[in-house]
Structure 1
Amino acid sequence: MARGEAPMVPDVEFESYYGRQIIKTPTWKTPDVPLYLFLGGLAGCSAVLAEGAALSGRPELERVTRLAAAGGAAAGTVALVHDLGRPERFLNMLRVLKPTSPLSVGSFILAPFSALSGAAAASHVTGLLPRLGRLAGVGAGVLGPPLATYTAALLGNTVVPAWHEAHRELPFVFGGSGAQAAGGLAMMLVPLDQAGPARRMALAGAAVEIAAAESIVLRRGLVAEPYQVGTPGRLMRIARNGTAAASAATLLLGRRSRLASAVAGATYVAASVTTRFGIFEAGLASARDPKYTVVPQRERLARQDGSAKMSR
């Protein structure tokens, strides 16, 4: 073709093999897995908040958060087992620890956390074996942050584009979301004079979650699109707006109004649940559409080719 002559055939923009889906859509169940993601964050951060309550002498806050940690872990285990189909599948995951597998490591976090948080809650409620209960609470508090964030590593370790490409931000989204849920639940159930640590945890968690979620949108290009469009986009917007509204109510009225504190707390919890469903649905949407797999691969190859040419 002569220089300056227009091509007769347009360039082909390859997206997939005959438009077919390239990767398999995860078979995880809804709502089991999104609820499991939420409950792990709630339980883990509640255990941390319970330790703060114990150290600062806030018995009502400690009681609520001990029960939230134990109840969240138990309910999360039920959701996980239901998704797996048979209880023995969960038990089989505890036979061997595989450090390279987030699912294996997570199972070895969830199992002892459930036992320790349950023992701490039982001791606090009954008054029996207080020293052992206190030690169990400390153990649960240590395992709380890993429990709240390991599920982000689990998602990021998959080939699902919306999860894998956001593997650096998702732990912060999950950790912040879990913190706002734990703080929000305590705000709903604890008197104002004891809810100070819960308010601070909810506000800090909300700030971390919003910043990390916005970072995904700003830094991940095309692969961030599923978080912005369709059902996942609507869920993420609802969650973000709810978190922002709850934070504003907490700052303006959270210390003065019991009703405002409870409403803000409930909004925090609802926003945290919605965030998990939004992230889960975004991953499924990105797995179904081949462009989210192919286009980033082509861009990486183009960058590698460019770097190779520059190094010659």
Structure 2
Amino acid sequence: MTTSPFDSYRPPEEGGRRRRRSGVRGAVTGAVSDAARGVAKGGRGAARGGTNWLKRDGGGRREAPAVPDAEFSSYYGRAVIKPVPWDYKIPAYLFVGGIAAGSGLIASGAAATGRELLRRNSRLTAMTGVALSGAFLVADLGRPERFLNMMRTVKLTSPMSVGTWILSGYAAFAGVTTASEVARLLPLPERGVVGVLTRALDVVDAPASVGQAFFAPPLAAYTAVLLSDTVTPVWFESRRQLPFVFVGSAALASAGVQMVLTPTEQTGPARRFALLGVVADLVAMHRLEEHLTRQDLDEPLRTGDGGAKLRLAKALTIAGGLGTLAAGRSRVVAVASGLALAGASALTRFGLVDAGMVSAKDPKYTVGPQKRRLEERRAAGTVHDSIVTVR
């Protein structure tokens, strides 16, 4: 039995005080009536206990609860919501997609500043990341045609539909810039059909580079929206911080890969991009953890496999950031720092996915925030909707 603050507002009993029944018949009739009300109000146990469940609070014959509200723990040992059936493919898809997005931005900057080797490596990395990202996504879907089915329409209210078109648009521009780089690497003839195609690639190279840079930020952020648009408690409650975490993680990972692949004298922009990603990732993760702590949802981020991965990711992010500051003078330090940053990004994606799945399996992470939001609405004076008044 539950109570509401509105239970105290009851109309007065009509006709004044009820006449007392006299004699044995009246006593028996009153006891039976009390027992009947006990069954209706308090269940079989209340009736069996006589009229002990009936209490008076000075305002007439009103019943007050003798049993407190039950604390929900699970539904017959089962979770309230169904965890997503994901394995390593989805966090790997998130990781390589972030590398692809950040590499596209680096490639566009390198093309604009005349850093030929950095441009080439970044473009090839971006195309490789897109290909691997699509492969992981199709492998998780189970059948390749399911990916094509998502492109039959554009549904702006579906992060998966919008994300599919973002990935496809980015892949189209990345394909053009990659073909342009391949044409420069191979000794292709200058005449004939191949020569015409080579000159056409030279013409569309700059517009394709701009298009790749345009689609790069949405590609880095939409996967965070994809996660937070679910009922998984940790992901849903992190919906305002998670995109910033993913964008910062993509920046430090892509820059870290270029610090490994490209000579140090050409990675100045990549190192600055890495430092920007380090700061963004650390600040966004700190805000995310603070928010989840206020919501009593920080435990999955501190314990278990997810917590261990996130702690290691933070340590590698700090170490890689410090190494990046000194990487301009040492190729060894640059490679080590780049590997640390890429590893930190991978661990962040895998750790957040693990923490979200843990929060979906334990009912307390679903029911607790719901009760807290209910009390906040009541405290704010919202008392006229079904969310507050129905319990």
TM-score range, shorter chain: over 0.9
Aligned residues, how many?
306
**8 Å contact kept, 2:306–2:351:** yes
The match for 2:229 among 157, 164, 169 is: 157
Other structure's SS at 1:168 match = coil
The match for 2:354 among 273, 277, 281 is: 281
Aligned residue in 1 for 2:381: 308
Letter in 2 for 1:235: K
Once the two structures are TM-superposed, the CA of residue 90 in structure 1 deviates from its matched residue by 0.1
Other structure's SS at 1:159 match = coil
Aligned residue in 2 for 1:121: 178
Root mean square deviation of aligned Cα: 1.8
Once the two structures are TM-superposed, the CA of residue 206 in structure 1 deviates from its matched residue by 1.2
Mapped pair 1:224 → 2:298: yes
Aligned residue in 2 for 1:136: 208
**8 Å contact kept, 1:217–1:225:** no
Other structure's SS at 2:381 match = helix
Q: Deviations over 1:246-269 (max 9, x none)?
A: 111111x21100110011001111
The match for 2:255 among 169, 183, 196 is: 183
Once the two structures are TM-superposed, the CA of residue 124 in structure 1 deviates from its matched residue by 1.8
Between Structure 1 and Structure 2, the one with more helix by share is 1
Mapped pair 1:52 → 2:126: no
Aligned residue in 2 for 1:92: 149
The within-5 A match list for 1:32-111 is 32-111=89-168
Instruction: Tell me the TM-score normalized by structure 2.
Output: 0.75
**8 Å contact kept, 1:184–1:268:** yes
Other structure's SS at 1:220 match = helix
Question: 1:16 and 1:301, CA in 2 relative to 1: closer, same or farther beyond 3 A?
Answer: farther
* C-alpha separation in 2, matches of 1:15 and 1:213: 29
Question: Mean Cα displacement is larger for which, 166-175 or 136-145?
Answer: 136-145
Once the two structures are TM-superposed, the CA of residue 10 in structure 1 deviates from its matched residue by 6.9
* C-alpha separation in 2, matches of 1:107 and 1:161: 24
**8 Å contact kept, 1:36–1:79:** yes
Question: Mean Cα displacement is larger for which, 295-304 or 123-132?
Answer: 123-132
The match for 1:166 among 238, 243, 246 is: 238
Identity %: 45
Once the two structures are TM-superposed, the CA of residue 309 in structure 1 deviates from its matched residue by 7.2
* C-alpha separation in 1, matches of 2:266 and 2:340: 19
Aligned residue in 2 for 1:14: 72
**8 Å contact kept, 1:124–1:130:** no
Q: Deviations over 1:176-235 (max 9, x none)?
A: 000001100000111111101110111111111111111111112212321111110000
* C-alpha separation in 2, matches of 1:164 and 1:307: 22
